Amino acid sequence: MNITTILDVERVVVNAAPTSKKKTLEFLGNILCSKFEHLTPQLVTNFLCSREKLSSTAIGNGVALPHSRLKNINQAVAALVVLKNPIDFDTLDNQPVDIFFGLLVPENACEDHLQILAAVARLFNEPQNALHIRSLKTSQQVFDFACQALNHTEPGLKGTG
């Protein structure tokens, strides 16, 4: 998977300060909508919140994958946010979350959507990867690690951009 087709260093944030689930989804909405002139932070946040109401996107190890499909975008976009302090995110394991991989994909890109989520989930299924990301100090370091790790997680996965 060439993660750089959907993620760039400008959408990677380290030591972010949201203090609740809602504020974190708003933070992600702001970052994700920046790729598209026609999207507003509120619209993206609403989609992310609607998806969370279906079931938590937390996957364990302090990681969540908030995501949504939108009909008015033509390429996938991702954001990676590491919080300064973990927050309650209604997880099945009752553990707080501090790493968020946010994702928006075109409405008709179901296969790509699932492949991206699966690759990211495999990355974070290894607890040492989340621990390593937490130890990194800059957005560039987190971006570089994510690119290296995800580019090797699923080499056959095509980009959606």
150 touches 1 (CB < 8 A)? yes
**Is 132 annotated as catalytic?**
no
* Cut 0.85: pTM above it: yes
What is the spatial distance between Cα 81 and Cα 89, in angstroms, rounded to a whole number?
14
What is the spatial distance between Cα 99 and Cα 124, in angstroms, rounded to a whole number?
10
What's the pLDDT tens digit per position in 56-75?
Answer: 999 999 999 999 999 989 99
Residue 135's identity, in one-letter code, is S
pLDDT band at 159 (very low <50, low <70, confident <90, very high): very low
Phi-psi region of 139 (alpha: psi -120 to 50; beta: other; left: phi over 0): alpha
Q: What is the pLDDT of residue 25?
A: 97
What's the pLDDT tens digit per position in 132-141?
Answer: 999 999 999 9
Q: Which of 38, 67, 113, 132 is catalytic?
A: 67
Backbone φ and ψ for 94, nearest 5 degrees, come out as 60, 25
Mean pLDDT of 29-36: 94
What is the spatial distance between Cα 139 and Cα 62, in angstroms, rounded to a whole number?
18
Mean pLDDT of 12-27: 97
What is the spatial distance between Cα 111 and Cα 130, in angstroms, rounded to a whole number?
25
